[in-house]
Amino acid sequence: MREPAGTRRPDHAGLGLLIVGLGVAGAPLDTSVNIAFPAITAAFAIEVRTIQWIVISYVLTYASLMLVFGKLGDLLGYRRIFQLGLLVSIVAFVLCALAPGFIWLLAFRVLQGIGAALTLSCAPALATSLYAESGRARALGAYAALFSASWALGPLLGGVLVDSGGWGAVFWFRAPIALLALALSWRLPLPVADGRRSFDGLGAGLLAFWMSGLLLALALAQMPDAGTWGPLLLGLAGVVVLWRFVAHEKRIDEPIVRPALFVDGAFSLLNLMSVAVSLVGFAVLLLVPYQLTRIAGLSASTGGVVLAINALGMIAGSWAAGRLAGTFRQRAIALAGVLLVVAGSAAIGSFAAAASLYPMIAALFCQGVGLGLFQVAYTDIVTETLPLRDRGVAGSLAMVSRTLGTVAGATLLSALFQHGRQAALAEGVGDVAAFIRGFETTFLGAAAALAIVLLLSFLHRRLWLD
């Protein structure tokens, strides 16, 4: 494939990859904010259920804008959008740490989401631009490993930061990191922008609206006081706008996303599989911390270390996917990743009440390896499918599918857990036994559902055999 005109690769591609990893670290390090929830709740005198809007305001913003910014990166240059994202993120981190009230904190979290969307949308494209096409998979594997490493550090740093500097510390500590990445970012390649390509403003607005509507509907669906009609009407509005978006994109020469891509059944199914894998993978973040503290009796810090085993598995899987790309087809690597996620998730559910912690650690690592293998292989397939000039959209699409799975997982997995727990309580068992039942129901049910989806996917032979 021909390289973009005007692209200059740095002399040290590894250094460039580290700069990209440093720049996006602010997003996965947001896992440190979860540890600060009790302190934030106390500081602003809010109800516990209100704290979820800190997550919703951030995730909804970056997920709905990522594809738009990825397209802007394709048009204006990935480094420019990446640098703008770092600048916005620096300001947002400082403002979040200094927020005088909860509403102000939510507003600054929206700004943080804009910064994350700008940096994350162009980071995979920047990573692959540092290497020749033959090294694309290895670059994506290294990028994913750096991303997972930052994710693992979040919970470990969060407790220490809150204890030493208060809840604001989980925000301001990322500002110097982003500032350093911005200072070093001038070493990244700067492709020459193609002035003949125009930006689809209407398509961008429609895309952001239907994505935010869908995600907000999923978020509201898990809130008991939201009712049924609100999320349902919001979801229907999102579907209508999606239909309008697709119709608009078919008529223009330079769409945000080409609808014709999804006519290919194998490509559409692969993206749906990414949503499903991310949905099942989110169960670890949702429930395992409670299992480690309530059932295994670990302290919060020790539990964070055990939970980080899952991220270590992702790092290992990401690295392996990049290394294996020259030997095995990426679809075979993606398939192996799905199988490991199924096996690891089922094992996590099976070892909820085990006397020893080692089986749980092995299961967490197994699932993490599967997630790493799949995500890198999937991203590489999407990147290869789209034209070279649309690398920003390709990387953004991979991130959006993962986010959709995570948000959907928060709703569906919570409902599955409550169903299993309430059924156990109705039988008269104790609270601990009811928790274990809900935990087992969630992981075993999610693993079984993903296995069924995988089996059905073989009806479309091209998905795994191309």
pLDDT digits (tens, 9 = 90+) for 423-439: 999 888 888 899 899 99
Q: Where are the domains of the chain?
A: 9-186, 200-253, 258-466
Residues contacting 266, CB < 8 A, separation 6+: 460, 462, 463, 466
pLDDT at residue 3 is higher than 80: no
**Res 224: pLDDT:** 64
Q: Whats the size of the chain, residue-wise?
A: 466
Most confident stretch, 27-31, 314-318, 405-409, 417-421:
314-318
Give me the chain's average pLDDT, please.
85
Q: Do domains 9-186 and 258-466 have the same CATH topology?
A: yes
Confidence of residue 4 (pLDDT cuts 50, 70, 90): very low
pLDDT at residue 116 is higher than 60: yes
pLDDT at residue 151 is higher than 90: no
pTM of the model: 0.84
Indicate the CATH number of 258-466 among 1.10.150.300, 1.20.1250.20, 3.40.50.10380, 3.40.190.100: 1.20.1250.20
3-state secondary structure 186-219: HHCCCCCCCCCCCCCHHHHHHHHHHHHHHHHHHH
Q: Which of 13-22, 39-48, 423-432 has the lowest mean pLDDT?
A: 39-48
Residue 82: CB atoms within 10 Å: 29
pLDDT at residue 191 is higher than 80: no
**Helix 265-290 / helix 358-385 crossing angle, nearest 10 deg:** 150
pLDDT at residue 223 is higher than 70: no
Q: What is the mean pLDDT of residues 227-246?
A: 81
Q: How far apart are CA 448 and CA 126, in angstroms?
A: 37
Residues contacting 282, CB < 8 A, separation 6+: 405, 406, 409, 410, 413
**Res 194: pLDDT:** 56
**Res 227: pLDDT:** 66
- How far is the CA of 370 from the CAs of 33, 353, 395, 438, in angstroms? 26, 23, 20, 24
Q: How far apart are CA 125 and CA 188, in angstroms?
A: 11
**Res 411: pLDDT:** 77
pLDDT at residue 175 is higher than 90: yes
9-186 adopts what CATH topology?
Growth Hormone; Chain: A; (1.20.1250)
Closest CA to 36 of 78, 118, 90, 99: 99
Q: What is the mean pLDDT of residues 143-162?
A: 84
**Res 403: pLDDT:** 84
Q: What is the mean pLDDT of residues 262-272?
A: 84
Q: How far apart are CA 317 and CA 337, in angstroms?
A: 8
Asked whether 418 and 442 are in contact (CB, 8 A), the reply is no
Each residue's pLDDT tens digit, 405-424: 887 887 788 888 888 989 99
**Helix 136-165 / helix 358-385 crossing angle, nearest 10 deg:** 130
Residue holding tokens 């591609």? Answer: 13
Confidence of residue 107 (pLDDT cuts 50, 70, 90): very high
**Res 396: pLDDT:** 85
Per the model's pLDDT, the better-predicted residue between 401 and 461 turns out to be 401
Vertex 11 angle, CA 9 and 16, to 5°? 70
pLDDT at residue 48 is higher than 70: no
What distance separates the 2 farthest-apart alpha carbons in the chain? 70
**Res 314: pLDDT:** 92
